[in-house]
Amino acid sequence: MNPLFQGTHQRAFGTWPLQGQALRDALRIAVDTGYRAIDTAQMYGNEADVGTALKAVGMKREDLCITTKIAPANDTAEAFLPSLRESLAKLQIDQVDILLLHWPPAHGDVAPSVQRLEEAVQAGLARHIGISNFTAAMMRTAKAATKLPLITNQVEFHPLLDQRVLLRTATETGIPLSSYCSVARGEIFKYPLFEEIGAGYGKTAAQAALRWILQKGVTINTMSTRRENIQANFDVMDFTLSSIDMDRIDALNSTNYRIVNRERVPDAPDFD
Ligand SMILES: NC(=O)c1ccc[n+]([C@@H]2O[C@H](COP(=O)([O-])OP(=O)(O)OC[C@H]3O[C@@H](n4cnc5c(N)ncnc54)[C@H](OP(=O)(O)O)[C@@H]3O)[C@@H](O)[C@H]2O)c1
């Protein structure tokens, strides 16, 4: 696993849809809890709030791992680097740790977009690059389009969605997955199985679901405004689900419940 995704960085704090004071409060709690990886995006409209909040918590820059994502509208030869410079100014940093393409281009030709990520590294504006919401086929094309490692494909990943094809492709291409909607925005709580399994380890339903994700080799992004949930989502490293419990959770993937689908994002590609 990439060192960037080990230890603390296996759990990132997501910032969508937080803004303003709510974001500043949540980020303060997250950093106090121990989160060092922070996830934002141009599309969230909150990079300036993230920058202000991170300045206020007074962490050393090198101790933080900040991800931002290029919005599809800025994924053009003209707009890409200027938009990234604007993001960095809002975030009050000179270089982002991880720069992702937020969505694959609607026309499907991913190579020029991946080359623009490379240019961001060459210009010193990004340390590492990756992709988000890419299908298995797009992961392969993206890998072939660059000599630089693509350090993640950030995708919807939780126990209610069957992402086995992407998991296999992550192994095949060496592009690890990271999750969003990790607790399926609360949908997992409709399934008593998580509470039952969590209780067997002295853990909550959310922690059982997040642990399942980690044991699939996927790093997690979670978002919460509540101190107890922010803490719980971080405290998932001190237990291991048995293979029987992993299998019981695996069985829920037939639900195939996808949150970020075409109704929400018209250009969202279908996963295999
Ligand atoms: N790349 C992409 O296209 C993409 C898309 C979506 C999201 N993301 C990123 O991923 C992050 C997380 O995804 P998400 O916010 O969509 O989904 P999520 O983490 O599955 O759901 C967040 C919701 O779940 C609740 N929650 C979180 N932890 C909980 C816990 N331990 N117990 C009970 N409820 C809990 C939160 O409510 P409370 O505040 O009440 O705790 C919040 O309403 C986002 O913030 C964003 O950074 C990326």
The CATH number of the domain holding residue 53 is: 3.20.20.100
Residue 234 lies in a domain: no
| Residues whose beta carbon lies within 6 Å of some atom of ligand 1 | 14-16, 39, 102, 132-133, 154, 180-186, 206, 221-226, 229, 232-233, 260
Q: Which atom of ligand 1 is nearest to the CA of 225?
A: 39
Hey, which of 42, 221, 227 would you mutate to test ligand 1's pocket, going by the most ligand atoms within 8 Å of its Cβ? Answer: 221
Residue 21 lies in a domain: yes
The predicted structure's pLDDT at residue 7: 77
Which domain range does residue 186 map to? Answer: 3-190+218-224
Residue 268 lies in a domain: no
pTM tops 0.75, yes or no: yes
The predicted structure's pLDDT at residue 9: 84
Helix (H, G, I), strand (E, B) or coil at 153: strand
Q: Which atom of ligand 1 is nearest to the CA of 229?
A: 31
Q: How many domains, in total, are found in the chain?
A: 1
Residue 20 lies in a domain: yes
The predicted structure's pLDDT at residue 1: 55
Q: Which residues contact 103 (CB under 8 A, 6 or more apart)?
A: 72, 132, 133, 265, 267, 268
pLDDT tens, position by position, 118-142: 999 999 999 999 999 999 999 999 9
What phi and psi values does residue 178 have, to the nearest 5 degrees?
-125, 150
Distance 62 CA to ligand 1 centre (A): 26
Distance 233 CA to ligand 1 centre (A): 10
What phi and psi values does residue 128 have, to the nearest 5 degrees?
-135, 160
| Residue closest to 117 by CA, chosen among 66, 151, 167 | 151
Residue 117 lies in a domain: yes
Residue 143 lies in a domain: yes
Q: Which residues contact 121 (CB under 8 A, 6 or more apart)?
A: 99, 127, 128, 129, 148
Residue 123 lies in a domain: yes
272 residues of the chain, pLDDT tens digit each? 566 677 788 999 999 999 999 999 999 999 999 999 999 999 999 999 999 999 999 899 999 999 999 999 999 999 999 999 999 999 999 999 999 999 999 888 999 999 999 999 999 999 999 999 999 999 999 999 999 999 999 999 999 999 999 999 999 999 999 999 999 999 999 999 999 999 999 999 999 999 999 999 999 999 999 999 999 999 999 999 999 999 999 999 999 899 998 888 877 888 77
Distance 13 CA to ligand 1 centre (A): 9
pLDDT tens, position by position, 207-238: 999 999 999 999 999 999 999 999 999 999 99
Atom 12 in ligand 1: which residue has the minimum CA distance? Answer: 222
The predicted structure's pLDDT at residue 145: 97
**Active site positions, annotated:** 44
| Residue closest to 42 by CA, chosen among 87, 81, 82 | 87
Average pLDDT, the chain: 95
